[in-house]
Amino acid sequence: MTDTNRVALAFSGGLDTTVCVPLLEEEYGYDEVIGVTVDVGQPESEFAEAAETAAALGLEHYVVDAREAFAELCFQSVTANATYQGYPLGTALARPVIASAILDVALEHDCNALAHGCTGKGNDQLRFETVWRGSSLEVIAPIRELGLTREWELEYAEEHDLPVEGGSGGRYSVDTNLWSRAVEGSELEDPATIPDDHIYKWTTSPSGKEAEFVTVTFEDGYPVALDGEEVDPVSLIETLNEQAGAHGVGRTDVMEDRMLGLKVRENYEHPAATVLLTAHEALEGLVLTAEERQFKAQVDQQWAQKAYEGLVDSPLVAALDGFIAETQKRVTGNVTVKLEGGHCRPVARESPHAAYSESAASFDNADVTESITQADATGVAKYHGFQSRLANASFSDAEGDESIDEPDDESTTTTDPAEIAHD
């Protein structure tokens, strides 16, 4: 460990993180600030901006490629059918990956602290810090701790001649990674505003484009191929983003409940995630039993909630992963989805582990497996709903004692269980 007082900053080159550099030196007394940018699939322009800003600040800057690690977590989320309030998790999954990469750089370069530019109103501060606070390094959040506003930051940047352009790039706050693109801010903060199509970059408006079919191959719940061709995870996601996005697939406009209790309006694009989640759930429908699907829905919901909170490394998630992994042993096969008019729907599925018998389910076959015949269902039908019929009959009689004349001797009303069972 050196005597230099050094801090590693999650650095994007935007207004918040640019302002954080001199603040960490002036207000927090750090001798040296290291900027770390983590690649989870952002546009190249964002890396160019970060590098340019870092150079202008004289900031030691590192870029870490974490796309493969992020894609792996995205595919893990597919095995859990993970969505939060109706949309696939994207930013939430990326933050722990980014935080872990920054922590690795900080430890490698003997840093004393870690810093981020998050405000005190969002989710990301919690997602970063749940990873960082597991280390011995100090955690600093200048924007939150100093109570800074965007207006103050712009004035500070101008006074200190910091390299920011008009407050960093447009009126929307946009977060992009391999799995999703999130857009918020400006007029979108009004829930009554209908967004213009210009906010979307990955998806086109549904039009008369001819329908397209895509077959996704899964092994143990993980996507491994498109239309029979094996593809690495990053390329698979990028391909589906382009292919499904061209059909307008994967848009969500949602009033999202954040962890701190605030409700915000978010617009998302997630073409690949929509296709893979749709196909995976369709394959599970073929191979899992009814009991597995019912219980797994509860497990999936808990997994998604913890992932939204940035707690993918929690003991609960590890336990949930154990159950999910067991179910995924049979989630191998192909699913064909149809992309058309902004929609993605499964149209065919096959698996060597299907919990399905065509002959047993067919309306046309008389001879079926395990010597099951239609007549065998008669006994089941007699008992199905028996308690409900008994309860309803008893309740009707009880009400009749108060409001209905006594039946005459020829009445056929009965609460005899044996007779009710045979009705």
Positions marked active-site = 16, 95, 124, 173
Are 34 and 108 spatial neighbours (Cβ–Cβ below 8 Å)? no
CB 237 within 8 A of CB 71: yes
Q: Residue 170's CB: how many other CB atoms inside 10 A?
A: 10
Q: Which amino acid is at 86?
A: G
Q: Which residue in this structure is represented by tokens 């484009």?
A: 209
Sign for the CA dihedral angle at 96, 40, 189, 169 comes to positive
Q: In whole angstroms, what is the distance from residue 299 CA to residue 368 CA?
A: 34
Assess contact for 215 and 226: CB atoms under 8 A.
yes
Question: How far apart are alpha carbons 12 and 163 in whole angstroms?
Answer: 13
CB atoms closer than 10 angstroms to residue 137: 18
- β-partners of residue 34 are 8, 60
DSSP 202-262: S-PPP-SPPPEEEEEEEETTEEEEETTEE--HHHHHHHHHHHHHTTT--EEEEEEE-TTS-
SS (H, E, C) 314-356: CHHHHHHHHHHHHHHCCCCEEEEEEEECCEEEEEEEECCCCCC
